[in-house]
Amino acid sequence: MQAIDTTWVLVSAALVLFMTPGLALFYGGMVRSKNVLAVMMNNFIAMGVVSVLWALVGCSLVFGHDVGHGLIGNFSLAGLGGMAHGLAGFNHSGASPMAIVTFQMMFAVVTAALISGGTTDRIKFPAFVLFIALWLFLVYIPLAHWVFSPDGWLAHRGVLDFAGGTVVEINSGFSTLAIVLVLGRRRGWPSEGMAPHSVPLSLLGVGILWFGWFGFNAGSALGMNSVAVYAFINTALAAAAGLLGWLCFERFRENFPTSLGAASGAVAGLVAITPCAGFVTPMASLAIGVLAGVICAMAVRLKFRLRYDDSLDVLGVHGVGGLIGMVLLGLFATRSVNRAGANGLFTGGGIHLLSVEVLAAVVTMGFSFTVTWLIAKAIDRTVGLRVSPEDEFRGLDLTQHAESAYSIGGMGRIGS
């Protein structure tokens, strides 16, 4: 074990955790002021609930000893124990097992938090909490085992996914689609104006996400080595290219380049590079980023035509961006960057990598959508997913949390 590797993984864990409050700001700025605390609360509750469940059993189910066929882990690591002899499949990494699973915990947290971007303005808080607990066990953990654990069945088939294009991005995108279809559209959407109440807040959030993503991607090298360095620069370039790509789309198709578009483009680039970061060249990252920027910019406009209310475009940016990344990885992957990787279609590897990347993408889409839809339906039929129309009108901050973000109605008095 090397101290430098453990150090880098722990720093990366902190960077990834920081992404969740960053996401909260990004999302918060884009909703109406009466619902800003609620969406930020959804992000914070993920930090609470997912961390605890991960430590108790989640980590073990993902990284514990495989029970068979690469489907799921066992309870060998329950309570974050059982790592005295290392973490099976990760002994090549110089980082300590505890550091690795701590780092991975932050991935589970942010993926759950991402879903809150679709359910804004209308989801009941207790329903959301119950949802992410069930979703963590039934959707995230199996997928994470299949892809991130070396014993997972997708990993066994040679699927490459450096930092979670499937487990985090495609998963969050299509899980969100499933829950918003069950949840229903916001009252008044899309005819009633629901403009962002604070774009500066969103821009700050994206800055934090961008910063944290260096931990997300470069940290996934699980050590301080040349792959980590590649992942770092690839992340930086994809974000920049994504920003420019989205802006070009806006400027030429809609006449105005917007700051929200620039921020969204950077996120799209970051999403797409997530599976690719440690496997492609910096120049390929530029291509991946700009394609994601342009395609995601188009994808988010689609929801108005297809009439589904994914409030903050989790599907359009994370789902679609993740798909773009997985496919492009099948084209651009090169062993010259990472000897433990593979070559893609453009680098002499033939069609094999592309085929398993597509397989992984399709499996992730189908699994996350289907199981999430079932969970959402079950919660809706029992506890109820959605607030009442009156509560929706009054706003979630007041009705779910007895708080007002900006005290527009005056301060009131303490006491009855």
Partner 1 sequence: MKLIVAIVKPFRLDDVKERLKGLGVHGMTVAEAQGFGRQRGHTEVYRGAEYQVDFIPKMRIELAVLDDQVADVVEAIIDAARTSSIGDGKIWIQPLEELIRIRTGERGPDAL
Residues that bind partner 1 (CB under 8 A): 30, 190, 193, 195-196, 199, 254, 256, 258, 260-261, 264, 297, 300-301, 304, 313
As measured in angstroms, the least distance from the Cβ of 293 to partner 1 is: 13
Length of the chain: 416
Alpha-carbon 161 to chain mean position: 14
Among positive and negative, which fits the CA dihedral 172, 51, 119, 205?
A: negative
- For partner 1, the closer CB: 145 or 303: 303
List the one residue out of 1, 8, 4, 3 whose CA is nearest residue 102.
8
- For partner 1, the closer CB: 250 or 357: 250
How many CA within 13 A on the CB side of residue 250? 20
As measured in angstroms, the least distance from the Cβ of 303 to partner 1 is: 9
- For partner 1, the closer CB: 179 or 297: 297
92: phi then psi, degrees, rounded to nearest 5: -80, -20
Q: How far apart (Å, rounded) are the C-alpha atoms in residues 251 and 147? A: 38
Q: How far is CA 79 from CA 61, 101, 138, in A?
A: 11, 12, 19
Angle at 46 between CA 43 and CA 52, to 5 degrees: 155
- For partner 1, the closer CB: 11 or 260: 260
- For partner 1, the closer CB: 316 or 330: 316
409: phi then psi, degrees, rounded to nearest 5: -85, 10
DSSP-assigned states of every residue in 181-230: HHH-PPTTTTTS----S-HHHHHHHHHHHHHHHHHHHHGGGSSSSHHHHH
- For partner 1, the closer CB: 200 or 384: 200
As measured in angstroms, the least distance from the Cβ of 385 to partner 1 is: 24
As measured in angstroms, the least distance from the Cβ of 193 to partner 1 is: 5
As measured in angstroms, the least distance from the Cβ of 318 to partner 1 is: 14
- For partner 1, the closer CB: 252 or 256: 256
Q: How far is CA 343 from CA 162, 328, 356, in A?
A: 14, 12, 12
Q: How far apart (Å, rounded) are the C-alpha atoms in residues 12 and 9? A: 5
As measured in angstroms, the least distance from the Cβ of 405 to partner 1 is: 19
As measured in angstroms, the least distance from the Cβ of 191 to partner 1 is: 11
